């Protein structure tokens, strides 16, 4: 009975897809910074948690609808991104691990300050829609998840068109392909990297606000999101946004079906196992380009 097709291919698949869309948005900030600045931002999860707290506090203090509050979260996240970029990121050496260690220091700073400011109690955002759901035939869809998924996909689509159709977007993609050539062509690399960093932090903040409506959160949950983003990033390779969406969906589906068949405790093991297997088969990611940076 449990394996009835409408459960296997309806309810479970619906949950997996809704989850996957949010994973894509959670990842995109990491992927952008990694692609354009060559920085593996270990503090990525902390920015997501910061977005969750910002949304929580703004909506509580101003008694606004949480979904509208996300619009106010964006400038707050942008300010944080600007400060962090100015103080820590700009002017670091081009070596590979200086930014990693520096962003780990940032992880400690952010985690500790959030613990001091907001304590370690788990919190969650309750919206008027939290308990509502709609039925599509036998499949029950919680409205809040559907909304979060929709917002994620809209944000990713807008970003996709921004990167492919505007001149700033094209310049950013040029930097991600070869920053030195881009610089000789007159593209203001430094300024656009700053812009990309701030944009990424805004996206992380928005995804944090959405996640906060689905799950309870606390300041120490950052690394969890970081690892999820790593999995999606490695699945999709540093390529384009459709690949990131596909990577998020693959992770969502793998996790949902894995935990359904193997037990919820092994949920994360499934994710990591998928990642490692995939890296072994395709060392540059599922949708990554092969063999470009050999020497």
Partner 1 sequence: MKTRIIIAAVLTIVLLAIPSLAAGNNFIITLAFLFTIYTTLALAWNIVGGFTGQLNLGHAAFFGVGAYILALSTGAGFHPYLGVAAGGAAAVGLALLMSPLMRLRGDYFAIGTLSLAEAIKVAILNIHAYGIRVTPYGGSGRVENYYLASGLLIAAAIVTYLILRSKLKLALVSIRENEILANASGVNPLKYKMIALALSGVFTGLAGGIYGYNLLYVPAEHVYSIEWTIIPLFMVLIGGRGTLTGPLIGSIIYLGIYYLLQFTITEISLLAFGLVVVLIVKFMPQGLIETLFIKTLGVRRSSIL
Interaction site with partner 1 (CB under 8 A): 34, 40, 88, 91-98, 100-102, 104-113, 116, 223, 227, 230-231, 233-234, 263, 265-266, 268-269, 272-273, 275-276, 279-280, 283-285, 294-295
> Of 110 and 144, which has the nearer Cβ to partner 1?
110
> Of 66 and 258, which has the nearer Cβ to partner 1?
258
> Of 32 and 67, which has the nearer Cβ to partner 1?
32
Provide, rounded to whole angstroms, the least separation between the CB of residue 151 and partner 1.
27
Provide, rounded to whole angstroms, the least separation between the CB of residue 276 and partner 1.
6
DSSP character string of the chain: -TT-HIIIIIIHHHHHHHHHHHHHHHHHHHHHHHHHH----TTHHHHHHHHHHHHHHHHHHTT--HHHHHHHHHHHHHHHHHHHIIIIITT--S-SHHHHHHHHHHHHHHHHHHHHHH-S--B----TTTT-EEEETTEEEEHHHHHHHHHHHHHHHHHHHHHHHSHHHHHHHHHHH-HHHHHHTT--HHHHHHHHHHHHHHHHHHHHHHHHHHS-B-GGGHHHHHHHHHHHHHHH-SS-HHHHHHHHHHHHHHHHHHHHHH-GGGHHHHHHHHHHHHHHH-TT-SSPPSSSS--
Provide, rounded to whole angstroms, the least separation between the CB of residue 295 and partner 1.
5
> Of 105 and 138, which has the nearer Cβ to partner 1?
105
> Of 69 and 111, which has the nearer Cβ to partner 1?
111
Provide, rounded to whole angstroms, the least separation between the CB of residue 285 and partner 1.
8
Provide, rounded to whole angstroms, the least separation between the CB of residue 45 and partner 1.
12
């Amino acid at each position: 009975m449990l394996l009835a097709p409408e459960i296997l291919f309806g309810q479970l698949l619906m949950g997996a897809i809704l989850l996957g869309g949010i994973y894509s948005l959670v990842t995109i900030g990491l992927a952008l910074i990694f692609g354009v600045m060559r920085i593996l931002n270990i503090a990525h999860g902390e920015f997501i948690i910061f977005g969750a707290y910002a949304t929580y506090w703004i909506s509580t203090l101003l008694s606004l609808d949480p979904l509208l509050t996300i619009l106010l979260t964006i400038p707050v996240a942008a300010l944080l991104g600007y400060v962090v970029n100015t103080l820590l990121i700009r002017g670091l050496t081009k070596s590979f691990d200086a930014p990693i260690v520096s962003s780990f220091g940032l992880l400690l700073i952010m985690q500790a300050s959030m613990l001091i400011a907001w304590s370690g109690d788990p919190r969650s955002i309750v919206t008027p829609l939290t308990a509502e759901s709609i039925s599509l035939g036998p499949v029950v869809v919680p409205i809040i998840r559907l909304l979060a998924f929709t917002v994620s996909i809209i944000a990713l689509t807008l970003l996709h068109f921004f990167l492919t159709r505007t001149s700033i977007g094209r310049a950013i993609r040029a930097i991600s392909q070869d920053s030195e050539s881009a610089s000789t062509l007159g593209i203001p690399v430094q300024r656009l990297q700053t812009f990309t960093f701030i944009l990424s932090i805004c996206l992380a903040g928005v995804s944090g606000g959405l996640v906060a409506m689905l799950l309870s959160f606390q300041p120490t949950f950052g690394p969890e999101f970081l690892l999820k983003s790593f999995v999606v990033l490695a699945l999709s390779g540093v390529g384009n946004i459709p690949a990131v969406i596909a990577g998020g969906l693959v992770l969502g589906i793998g996790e949902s079906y894995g935990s359904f068949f193997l037990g919820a405790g092994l949920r994360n093991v499934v994710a990591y196992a998928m990642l490692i297997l995939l890296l072994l088969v395709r060392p540059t990611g599922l949708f990554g380009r092969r063999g470009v940076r050999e020497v």
